[in-house]
Chain A
Amino acid sequence: MYKTIIGLEIHAQLSTKTKAFCSCQADVFELEPNTAICPVCTGQPGALPVLNKTVVEYAVKAAVAFNCSINLRSSFDRKNYFYPDLPKGYQITQYFTPIAENGYLEFKLDGNEKRVRIRRIHIEEDAGKMIHQDADSISGASGSLVNLNRCGVPLIEIVTEPDISSPKEARVFMELLRDTLRAIDICSGDMEKGALRCDANISVVDEESGTSSNRVEVKNINSFKFVEKALEFERERIIKALEQGTDVDRETRTWNFTKRETISMRSKEEENDYRYFPEPDLPPLQLSGEFVEKVRKNLPELPQQRVQRLIQQYGIPEYDASVLGSDVKISLFFEEVSRVTGKPKDASNWIMTELMREINQRGIPIDEMPIGPEHFKVLFQLLDQGKISAKIAKELFPLMVETGKTPDQLVKERGMEQISDEKLIEEIVLRAMESNPKAVQQYRDGKKNVMGYFVGAVMKETRGKANPAVVNEIVRRLLES
């Protein structure tokens, strides 16, 4: 048996208006290269950093949400290294005293309670971005372009203890972390856009012999799927080595998207000495207890609190609550639909399946969807009154999303009312029995599943609009009479 030990280092981009140490725009994802820069973030001679207060507020929010103890006095340090996307030659970070330490995040996985401890949360600035031509790295590239827009974009780094014991657990942890960051509204959580990035440390212990492998670092994981995939690959690679009686190198690797494997970036020996020392351009960060309390008091509901509340308040299953509760906008929508319709379980079913599908397929966020709780109210009424079948309702749903029209409007426009007229149905059934006496005989000889043939005939003729319950009842009655 092998035990897996995983620790994560997560960089979350704070969704502040301006950068960490200057007043340039911070959301640079779609900007032209080098358009959101100034003397400060490009490290011009003589320029000095000034700390953005919102960055501090956001970091404290995260610290409170992740149950950390907050250092009222923290400080900034420089991490020194040479790279062309790092115009000052150093990154401002918190090394010696971070803003927060000793937190945790708890979640349930496969029925078990899990607690992952958080070692520290610190504030730092992002570096720029490079595009290398004809090579993967700067050495050997025929040319390299630098985009400094990301320089100085505010980040928090969240470092866990090595408490994670499987690749799946790592993914679930990352998802909960993202949901929490979104709930407290400090990070978009979009891994594809680089707003959330993850490095993982993994090692494996052979529990029989007690031997433990070297620790391998997997860098720059940029999707939730790859967190699990990359770590699974790495876990297998390490176990294979242990089984062959060797060990993997202590090194830094990166997930190669196209080859679906991790590849070596650099060995331990090639690592930088970052020459950390206190940042002399920024005085220590002093927070008041009142400030922290105020942030704590104004913290919105966190995903897990919300899940528990949804279960209690609406009586929906835990699974539904965890799906709906992971996204604040979706759970708000659910609560509104439940209030308007008085049917939380139906609301949950429809939102989790039909609505989520539409959101994913159309790529439109829920708050830009043209349907609201009223649509659901009318839809549920039509179903209750038997005016439409569940099948029709599912056909109606995408039309509602597309047109913004209510279901009763659509039913009227398109003649999609359910047919419950017993006489009409009887006529159709009798006609079908006349034209296929053989099938009638089969039924009467005990081959009960022939009934489906007659039901189908009715549905075909009514183009699916016949009320299935009525049809079933009539078919049975006539066949058995």
Chain B
Amino acid sequence: MKRDFLNYKIAELSELQDDAKRKAIAYFHERITAFNPELNAFLEVLPLSANYSSGSLSGIPYALKDNILARGTRTTCASDILKDYISPYDATVTARLKAEGAVLMGKTNLDEFAMGSSTENSAFGPSKNPWDLNRIPGGSSGGSAAAVAAGLVPFALGSDTGGSVRQPAAFCGVVGYKPSYGLVSRYGLVAFASSLDQIGPLTRCVDDAYAVFKTIARKDINDATTINNGVNLKANDLPKIDLKGIRIAVPSDALDFEGLDERVKSRFLEFVERLTEKGAKVSFIELGILKYVVATYYLIAPGEASSNLSRYDGVRYGERVESENYEEMIKKNRDIGFGDEVKRRILLGTFTLSSAYYDAYYRRALKIRRIISDRINKVLQEHDFILNPTTPTLPGKIGEISDPLTYYLMDIYTIPANLAGMPAISVPIDPVDGLPVGVQFMGKRLSDLQLLSVAKEAEKLSGAYENGLAKLPERWLHV
């Protein structure tokens, strides 16, 4: 029986003969063409091309979140202000994937400039959740998550500033991994909040996440925040880890959070039970910082964003509106170029960085960020991992939530990893009412391999998998 390409892990696809690889590439291209109109996962689909080099990802189709540059393609950040911007160079991750033979199929949808948790804040319309087209795929890497969850590509890259890879992975029932800050170069990732942003893969299993991570991670001379000798990436396979005796901390304050959906909570506790049965030592602890993380994040991230986005003045990018003078022109250009959420965060960031309020807000947020880091480090000295639901809720209906604060709170479990620079991964567990649920493991800084190893063990306890790959919704199985 000829196996469907949807049932291949990346390692298996890369071992195919050349003609089979070409068939696989054409197959995924056909799926994208057929399904994207419904999903709006891709903003740009590249023409079918079977040119690829040899390498560890030879002939593997993939998608890039449209805030990552690929020379010659449009990089819009889902914003009107960049709608015609052609990347003049390759992002480091793009260049590394190309060098290992991966085949770029297109650019995926996102919340404008990666600001949002639903992919509804896209200037080009929302993406749909492959499990329920009326629901959001999460965000901001919602297009990448939807593309992987519908089997349009074996993997996609996203960017994660406060949970933007892990949260849509949880909503779409796939694996989303944010590496330790500094392991993956940000060169060519359009900056949202530089000290928090990190590129990470969305895949259908942890092995695939590792295969992609191995290719894109390492020091980059173009990004001064990348580090040397962080993690040994030589091994072909992940190190084996035994759940027996693993010390896992579950923050009880996360479970007490009033926004936590009861169904998500009970699925999560069932999963914790399975871990315990396998011999993991689970302790419920008081993390004590959760009530500060959202506030801290929404001081630091918009501050950096307000600065990072000031280059979009409508002169070099975007549309230019005729005006009386320079100041008026910039105001008008930015007014028509940016969406509401982006404007909201620019205003917030501009305010908190202003000299009158810097000490009261920004400086204090930097201090609290340090306290949060210290607290997480302390817990991770006594435990190997921290485990919590990836998101407090199930994916909502498109247009359902209009209050930005509600959205901001959806990232409460994912933000700590960004503030502290820790690696974290979301793995799908058994769904609720046909909707995916994810759990997040967070590890010590640079413990990425152990983190991936424990996540791989967790997959074995999950009802979301079949033959080692996250299940796809029935309706996308056949073109």
Contact = CB atoms under 8 A, between A and B. Distances in A.
A301 to B, nearest CB: 35
Nearest to A148: B316
B224 A50 contact: yes
Given A46-B68, A82-B330, 6 more contacts: A45-B77, A48-B186, A50-B221, A139-B327, A273-B354, A282-B225
Interface in A73-127: 78, 80, 82, 84, 87-90
Contact of B313 (A78, A89, A140, A281): A89
A274 B356 CA distance: 11
B325 A140 contact: yes
B190 A46 contact: yes
Nearest to B227: A283
A51 interface: yes
Nearest to B85: A45
Interface residues of B, number: 48
Interface of B: 67-69, 75, 77, 82, 85, 87-89, 91, 186-191, 193-195, 221-225, 303-304, 306-307, 309-311, 313, 315-317, 325-327, 330, 350, 353-356, 358, 362, 366
A138 B225 CA distance: 37
29 contacts: A39-B89, A43-B311, A44-B88, A45-B311, A46-B187, A46-B189, A46-B191, A47-B187, A48-B186, A50-B221, A50-B222, A80-B353, A82-B330, A84-B315, A87-B311, A87-B316, A88-B311, A90-B310, A138-B326, A275-B306, A275-B355, A276-B355, A276-B358, A277-B358, A280-B193, A280-B194, A280-B304, A281-B191, A281-B225
Nearest to A88: B311
A381 B63 CA distance: 84
A404 interface: no
A276 to B, nearest CB: 8
B307 A48 contact: no
Interface in A309-330: none
Interface of A: 39, 43-51, 78, 80, 82, 84, 87-90, 138-140, 273-278, 280-283
Contacts of A139: 325-327
A49 B187 CA distance: 9
A46 B66 CA distance: 12
B354 A39 contact: no
A84 B362 contact: no
Given A80-B353, A84-B326, A48 B187 contact: yes
Given A48-B224, A84-B315, A275-B353, A280 B187 contact: no
Contacts of A44: 88-89
B224 to A, nearest CB: 5
A45 B316 CA distance: 11
A281 B223 CA distance: 8
Contacts of A49: 224
Contacts of A84: 313, 315, 326
Contacts of B362: 277
Nearest to B353: A275
B367 to A, nearest CB: 13
> Nearest 3 CB-CB pairs, A to B?
A89-B310, A280-B195, A280-B194
A138 B330 CA distance: 13
B224 A46 contact: no
A68 to B, nearest CB: 25
A90 to B, nearest CB: 5
Nearest to B317: A45
Contact of A277 (B75, B225, B310, B353): B353
Contacts of A281: 191, 194, 223-225
B312 to A, nearest CB: 8
A276 B366 CA distance: 14
B294 to A, nearest CB: 20
Contacts of B307: 78, 80, 89-90, 275, 277
A281 B353 CA distance: 17
B303 A82 contact: no
Contact of B310 (A45, A88, A140, A280): A88
Contact of B303 (A45, A138, A277, A282): A277
B390 to A, nearest CB: 25
A88 B317 CA distance: 12
Contacts of B310: 80, 82, 88-90
Contacts of B303: 277
Contacts of A278: 366
B223 A48 contact: yes
A278 B307 CA distance: 11
A275 B302 CA distance: 13
A327 to B, nearest CB: 38
Nearest to A89: B310
A45 B313 CA distance: 12
A283 B224 contact: yes
Most chain B C-beta atoms within 10 Å of own C-beta, residue among A46, A51, A280: A46
Nearest to A80: B307
Nearest to A43: B311
Nearest to B113: A45
Nearest to A22: B222
Contacts of B353: 80, 275-277
Contacts of A80: 306-307, 310, 353
Contacts of B316: 87
A43 B194 CA distance: 14
A128 to B, nearest CB: 12
A48 B182 CA distance: 13
B253 to A, nearest CB: 29
A84 B315 CA distance: 8
Contact of A45 (B75, B222, B304, B325): B75
B75 to A, nearest CB: 7
B225 A283 contact: yes
Contacts of B358: 275-277
Given A277-B362, A281-B224, A45 B194 contact: no
A193 B361 CA distance: 42
A51 B190 CA distance: 20
Nearest to A78: B307
Nearest to A50: B224
B224 A45 contact: no
A87 B315 CA distance: 10
A82 to B, nearest CB: 6
Contacts of A138: 325-326
B427 to A, nearest CB: 29
A49 to B, nearest CB: 7
Nearest to B195: A280
Q: Which has the most chain B C-beta neighbours within 10 Å: A39, A48, A78?
A: A48
Contacts of A280: 193-195, 225, 304
B354 A45 contact: no
A160 B175 CA distance: 57
B331 to A, nearest CB: 10
Contacts of A282: 224-225
A272 to B, nearest CB: 10
A33 to B, nearest CB: 15
B220 to A, nearest CB: 9
A281 B224 CA distance: 7
Given A88-B310, A280-B194, A46 B188 contact: yes
Contacts of A140: 325
Contacts of B85: 45
A80 B186 CA distance: 21
Contacts of A90: 307, 310
Nearest to A277: B353
A43 B190 CA distance: 11
Contacts of A46: 67-69, 75, 87, 91, 186-191
A88 B190 CA distance: 12
B272 to A, nearest CB: 36
A46 B366 CA distance: 24
B293 to A, nearest CB: 18
A50 B313 CA distance: 24
Nearest to B313: A82
Contacts of B69: 45-46
A89 B311 contact: yes
A51 to B, nearest CB: 6
